[in-house]
Structure 1
């Protein structure tokens, strides 16, 4: 059996769910030189089946919205293929057609969903329909979710669309004297899904928040209550304002990887690979970013050959859970490694790459055994 741990600095590398709130993004509008505009794209689950039987998709999470430039080819139909275990967890998720496209959250959102338990089902398929709209016409809930977790700066018109009618907070911002935050550790986290509460409030002449209410929310009642309390305790510079917004986010809880079989189950009978291999170079560490954002763990088993001079070749994914994307990332990891030279080459070696979220160290652990 091959045993080694990939590390950048420390013996193990960890990425944890952030418990600090993610502030709303301050943005600028797209360049005026471009005639193109950005549109909001949402992949909506439309129908599901397992074999010939219909599948209830009412509890399937809708992937996070994305922004694309008009004219981009992102409207092709997409299906996710998978199976469901006895706990109602979708496994073996594969995108059809393959690739991320504009919707990197498609497979992770299904991995974080749950179906009715106590009924193992195979050959399951969910069809998704692309819904595209202008920012002006887009759903406010989808826009807020995008703005909170955006990896780049959204356009100014997105925040103009989100702002309450009559708001003057964005045009004449009040200086923040005290920003209070909830005790996020006391708020239940949802495995694989971040929750947020957008609080709307006015500011009176003394700089105190008044007329507080939940503007939009993902539905975490404890977070909603704590967010309202936090805004009530905050203070601003003197001067009345109305229609102000501030989001608080409870990052997703860790969604542990599915159980995996013993590595010997995947080992080929004709393998001549030794139990211990001397690895010469450390491969590049790759944790699928779209799954890391949701704190979803996984694993993959990779088969490969070793040349006498230490090169790794003929890599292939033997198994991967909960989604094929873990296998794709693991295959790149193994392909990038080399071993010490040997008298002869080896064939049909297997390794398992484990992706684990470790909260205390705020990093990602990738272990190969």
Structure 2
């Protein structure tokens, strides 16, 4: 078994301050003026399991993304297929090949959702429909959520849109003398779901926050209360300001890896591969980043052949949970590995790659048995 252990940090996420990457797409000068960034949200619209309707009210909406207005494939619906276990957890999630492919949080958001328990269901499908809007017209909640989760600095237009009306807080921004934080460990969370709370406040002439209120939230009332208290305890340089905002972000509990059968159950009868496989070079560890950010664990079983010189070939995904993307990542791991040479090659080897989170500094560990 290959076990990947990654740290699950519980950070406070601020609006990113790094510069965005330079665009790499060549645009005709005549089209450049019409090209802008739009906000795109994939909304779950309908669901079913077999011929029966599925209540999608509990399905998490994926984090919004920015797309160029000239994108040709950003307005296609997407289907996710899965089953539901007795606890209401979606498993075996796969994605139709056609449809918009840049929504990294689409599958993780479904994996972190929960349906009504005590009823196994097979052959389930959810259809997601894209909602595109300009930054000027986008929903404020989507804009705030994107600004908090973005991997690179959003455009200035988005920040300007988020600021409360009449805000002067970004004009000669006051220096922070004390930034207080909530005690995140005391805030209840849901596995596989991240929460945020954006606080709006003014600053009086002495540098003390006043007129505090929750400006935007995912609905975690404990986080909202703790965020207001933390901002109230913060201090800034002297000088009155209006319409300041600050977000606090809390990752959910780890969503544990689903159960799997013993590795022998996946081995074909004609396998002549030694067990365990003796690896010559340690595979490159690749935890699917979109699932790591939500703290979602998973596993995959990969079947493969071995050449006499130790090269891996014919690698294929036998099983993966809770989503096919864990299998795709595990397949790349195994293909990038090598074993000790042998007098003859082997066929129908199997290995399980398990992805796990750790509550400590970011670390990775691989065990082979």
Range class of TM-score, shorter chain: over 0.9
Q: Are the equivalent residues in 1 in contact too, given 2:278–2:339 (CA < 8 A)?
A: yes
Which consecutive segments of 4 or more residues in structure 1 shift more than 6 A?
27-31
Q: Are the equivalent residues in 1 in contact too, given 2:284–2:333 (CA < 8 A)?
A: yes
- Taking the TM superposition and a 5 Å limit, the aligned residue runs for 1:18-33 are 18-26=9-17
Structure 1 position 238, deviation (Å): 0.9
SS in 1 for 2:6: coil
Partner of 1:15: 6
Matched, 1:85 2:85: yes
Q: Are the equivalent residues in 1 in contact too, given 2:81–2:95 (CA < 8 A)?
A: yes
Q: Are the equivalent residues in 2 in contact too, given 1:300–1:352 (CA < 8 A)?
A: yes
Which blocks of at least 5 consecutive residues in structure 2 are unaligned? 24-28
- Taking the TM superposition and a 5 Å limit, the aligned residue runs for 1:246-285 are 246-285=246-285
SS in 1 for 2:177: strand
Q: Are the equivalent residues in 2 in contact too, given 1:353–1:368 (CA < 8 A)?
A: no
Structure 1 position 278, deviation (Å): 2.0
Q: Are the equivalent residues in 2 in contact too, given 1:189–1:252 (CA < 8 A)?
A: yes
SS in 2 for 1:159: helix
Q: Are the equivalent residues in 2 in contact too, given 1:354–1:367 (CA < 8 A)?
A: no
Q: Are the equivalent residues in 2 in contact too, given 1:83–1:124 (CA < 8 A)?
A: yes
Partner of 1:333: 333
Structure 1 position 190, deviation (Å): 1.9
Partner of 1:156: 156
- Taking the TM superposition and a 5 Å limit, the aligned residue runs for 1:1-369 are 3=1, 14-26=5-17, 34-35=32-33, 36-72=35-71, 73-97=73-97, 101-369=101-369
- Quote the RMSD (CA, aligned, Å): 1.9
Structure 1 position 252, deviation (Å): 2.1
SS in 2 for 1:108: helix
Distance 1:245 1:41 in 2: 24
SS in 1 for 2:189: coil
Distance 1:252 1:16 in 2: 13
Structure 1 position 16, deviation (Å): 2.4
What TM-score do you get using the length of structure 1 for normalisation? 0.93
Which blocks of at least 5 consecutive residues in structure 1 are unaligned? 6-12
What TM-score do you get using the length of structure 2 for normalisation? 0.93
SS in 2 for 1:189: coil
Q: Are the equivalent residues in 2 in contact too, given 1:16–1:295 (CA < 8 A)?
A: no
Structure 1 position 251, deviation (Å): 1.6
Distance 1:167 1:367 in 2: 54
Paired residues in the alignment total 360
- For residues 22-79 of structure 1, the C-alpha deviation after alignment (integer angstroms, 9 at most, x for no partner) is 1123477999x85321000000000000000000000000000000111112222110
